[in-house]
Chains A and B, each alone.
Chain A
Amino acid sequence: MVMYWVALLAISILIYLLLDGFDLGVGMLFGVAGSEAKRDAMLSTVAPVWDGNETWLIVTGVIMWGSFPVVYAMVMSALYIPVVVMLLGLILRGVAFEFRGKALRSRWVWDVSFVAGSFAASFMQGAMVGALVEGLQFSNGDYTGGTLGWLTAFSALCGIGLCFGYSLLGACWLVRKSDGPVRDAARRQIPPLAIGVLVFLVVVFAYALAEHLPILKRWTDRPYLLVFPAIGAGAAAMLAKSILVHDDYWPFHMVALIFVAAFATLALSFWPYMIPFVVTIDEAAAPHASLAFMFWGAGLFAFPLMLLYVAVGYRVFRGKTAPVADHH
């Protein structure tokens, strides 16, 4: 039962990363789009799906609270500032999506809040993962690191890294879903973004070595984990090739595969801890009565239906988005 909910939590986080990742990425790239027509075209590629994507964050939150209340309580309270800023960023970009179409003179306000909200949410998500990897201070289950304890050079680096990662995913999404100048611009953005991600990974690895981060030991203990970075490297090679041959379809899938590999590497190097070296999965698990109650309804029936809905939703909107006429 515990393993079932660990799996569902991991799947939900991964779905969230991939889905909201590309639309947050499009949100950040939106800032450098040259013209109103391009911005409209970019928005129309994510418009049908973005708030469905975002609900996976809530799914993640409630699974965590119901199945692993100790971790939910410890992580959310320790990461107070980044969680709040992330939520505000998501709200601002969510409504900006809708309001910019209604605003007349104040459209720039919503354009700014769309870009800024996307950046804030992405950076904070990366920084939170970074803070967990580096290790937050807890004693007796209470966080003792202080209000800004999560903010270190390493976590900031991870925040920037995730901005690059999401932007890369977003650019690949645009290549896949759009045509004309929007696609061409996105394709030109992919190499620098990919290099940015690569540099980030190298720096993170170097930092982890230099600082002797305890999580590094997991990788030397468990060499088989290296299969995931290897998959990531293979996907990166395929990405480079598909960019060179101007393929529209594969870059997104290759970057998604890189994300899956990175997520698997991280998740398995945490194992069996949920908060590294502080709380294990079994210590965090809710009582059996809670897990079983969730399993026999929400887990067994509703969750597969939710997956089905996502699949159907993306199937309905498959293919390139119709080009948006420039009426400005």
Chain B
Amino acid sequence: MDPTALLLSRLQFAFTISFHIIFSAFTIGLAAWLTVLEAMHQSTGKPVYRTLFAFWLKIFGVAFGMGVVSGVVMAFQFGTNWSVLSKMSGPIQGPLLSYETFTAFMLEAGFFGILIFGRSRVPPWLYLFSTAMVALGTTLSAFWIMVNNSWMQVPTGYVLQNGQFVPDDWAQIIFNRVVWVRFPHMLLASYLTGAFCVAATGAWYLLRRTYRAEAHVMLRMGLALAAVLLPVQLFIGHLVGDYVHDYQPAKFAAIEARWHDEQPASEVLIAIPDSSTESNKYAISIPVLGSIIGSMSLTSKEVGLTSFAPQDRPPVAIPFFAFRIMVGCGFVMLGLAWLGSWLGLTHRLDRSRLLLWGIFLSFPLPWIAILTGWYTAEVGRQPWTIYGVLRTADAVTPFLTASAAMASLILFVAVYAFIFSFGTYYIYRLLRAGPAGLGGRPRHVPVPNRPMSLADQVPAARSYLEAGE
């Protein structure tokens, strides 16, 4: 095993999956949002919901396409860079990913065409059903991925035979407690991503004094959803912390930057962890709070990093800071959502330009929270790939050379930077143009299975908007 190849492989995986999650999380959130809009339109008959649906459907199309192309890489990267892992855990991870492909793709592929082209060809209830099925497809995809990753975090329901993880209890693998806190955590994070992007777009239009009707609906719905979901998300996040505390004590200690066992333990709010001296610099901590957070007790003993052999400790700085950034984003979003909802209820939001600016500029927060949350989970799992069983250093393809890994990493970075900058620019253009900005030159006759062609779909979108009501 070449240590440079190992590092490069880790960087490559982190890079490609970070890009992928940005678009997947957005897609999950938007699919749910579209379902809500269509249901609202059908139940109230208000045209504004139809306008918004057509607008966000185009953005959904572009994001969906980006999620798909960056997802193809993930199906192969386990084998190319992590051959030992794929050989050992294939009997468990392979079937889980097969279920993802077979069930999620089924629904997405089957109903995506109707979602885009079927408005005039199917009865309204079926159109709503198709929208919901696409949303279900994206959700199922997230579910199987979370089952897969949770198994790597807390491996269970297997026996080790002939160097392979052989499943002996699928129910345990799929329905264990860890999955059922982490999956909702990810799902809510995706919904919050959708909610904040929608609210930020609304705030943007109000600041520009345009599309007032649509902007109000977007702001009201986005903020209300976020205001309700954020406290739930914080609570579920706490439950996720509980599983880390119980199953991954070294990761928990790293997140807390707790170097030594403490009883009762204090909580380090902020510090600069220094692994060379095994201590924190400039620490601000609160006594006893660490025990309360860790064990809901005033007296419990909490484990410190030095209780683990140095080779079994995760890096400290990344989980420590990433976790704090994630939580910080969560609280900022909570403040914005609650304040915005309250001002909205009392009809003062239009005049609170400062808050509108805050909401507009907050659109990256859910993504930052998702990425830092994942960095906490994945870096904190180190030095293990499958926690406690298979080390990352032992999981990498043993004969991979640094030059090959470097070449592929450079190529991935170059190609992704190229296409994703165009993709995000394109989404930006759509958002800037707004719901009435369905203009642009129609180039192709839009066709199903071509997510991004949606944005070209000018005449069709416009004609059903006019004919619809």
- Interface of A toward B, CB cutoff 8 Å: 40, 43-44, 47-52, 54-55, 57-59, 61-67, 69-70, 72-77, 79-81, 83-85, 87-88, 90-92, 94-95, 97-99, 101-102, 141-144, 147, 286-287, 289-290, 293-294, 297-298, 302-303, 305-306, 309, 313, 316-317, 322, 324
Contact = CB atoms under 8 A, between A and B. Distances in A.
A61 B76 contact: yes
Nearest to A104: B441
A306 B62 CA distance: 24
B214 to A, nearest CB: 23
Contacts of B444: 40, 43-44, 47, 101, 324
A293 B173 CA distance: 12
Contact of A63 (B96, B98, B398): B98
Contacts of B411: 84-85, 88
B95 A81 contact: no
A77 B401 CA distance: 11
Chain B: interface size category: 35 or more
Contact of A77 (B94, B103, B397): B397
Contacts of B88: 69
A91 B87 contact: no
Interface string B400-444: 110110011001100100010011001000000000000000011
Interface stretch (B38-46, B67-75, B216-224, B229-237): B67-75
A55 B411 CA distance: 22
A303 B447 CA distance: 24
A72 B86 contact: yes
* Interface pairs A-B: 5 shortest CB-CB: A69-B90, A76-B79, A66-B94, A98-B452, A77-B83
Contacts of A50: 449-450
B79 A65 contact: yes
Nearest to A53: B449
Interface of B: 62, 65-66, 68-73, 75-76, 78-81, 83-84, 86-103, 105-106, 109-110, 113, 161, 164, 166-168, 170, 397-401, 403-404, 407-408, 411-412, 415, 419, 422-423, 426, 443-445, 447-453, 455-456
A309 B80 CA distance: 30
18 contacts: A48-B450, A50-B450, A51-B451, A64-B94, A66-B91, A69-B88, A69-B89, A69-B164, A73-B90, A74-B87, A84-B408, A87-B72, A92-B415, A97-B452, A98-B65, A286-B90, A287-B167, A289-B167
Contacts of A43: 444
Contacts of B452: 95, 97-99
Contact of B403 (A72, A147, A302): A147
A289 to B, nearest CB: 5
A101 B456 contact: yes
Contact of B106 (A64, A80, A289, A305): A305
Given A40-B444, A91-B69, A287-B91, A47 B450 contact: yes
A143 B401 CA distance: 12
B97 A66 contact: yes
B80 A92 contact: no
Contacts of A90: 69, 72
Contact of A80 (B91, B400, B447, B451): B400
A298 B453 contact: no
